Amino acid sequence: MIYDERETRRQHVIEAAKQMMTAARTAPKAKGCDIIEVKLVTEEDITVLADILKSIGEERNRPGMIRDAGNLLSADAVLLIGSHEAAMGLNCAYCGTPTCDSRPAGVPCAMNTIDVGIAIGSACATAADLRLDTRVMYSVGYAALHAGWLPGCNYVIGIPISASSKNPFFDRK
């Protein structure tokens, strides 16, 4: 049997993205509390996500979001990593308040944000090890948040993934 890389590329990216999901899940978390959510978007749902992002960009006059929506269409897969809100009870003051109990509603626990960042780093390191093209995009996560694709999460980050001769997520207009 002879395999043509161009014909197997998309499936390879999806399998590699699943490894990225595992890397995000197993990344260290504050106090060992697992409050992150990880989803993989493929095929026509990438177009749905791009349409949502484009609509938000047009509505809010945000050209960068419109550009990012176009970039999504070059992705073979998109990883979404988000967090549920849960105070860790460390009274670390990283959120800007002296104690967890004094934190106003709507102000996220900084440890939740850090946990998502560590999960993103682990996922992207896995992608780099597998020679995949990625870019961390808040805008993509914002569109997924508006779509309700990670229920209960108060913020989401998106990572489009590609395997091509040139990373389509850099050198953008």
Read off the pLDDT of residues 120-139 as tens digits, 9 standing for 90 and up: 999 999 999 999 999 999 99
Element (H, E) at 81: strand 77-84
Q: Hey, what domains does the chain have and what are their CATH numbers? A: 5-162 (3.40.109.10)
Helix 44-59 vs helix 138-147: crossing angle, to nearest 10: 100
Question: What is the model's pTM?
Answer: 0.93
Q: Contact 87/103 with Cβ under 8 angstroms? A: yes
Q: Contact 24/36 with Cβ under 8 angstroms? A: yes
Q: Is the pLDDT of residue 148 over 90?
A: yes
Q: Give alpha helix (H) positions in the chain.
A: 5-26, 44-59, 63-72, 110-129, 138-147
Position 25 scores a pLDDT of: 96
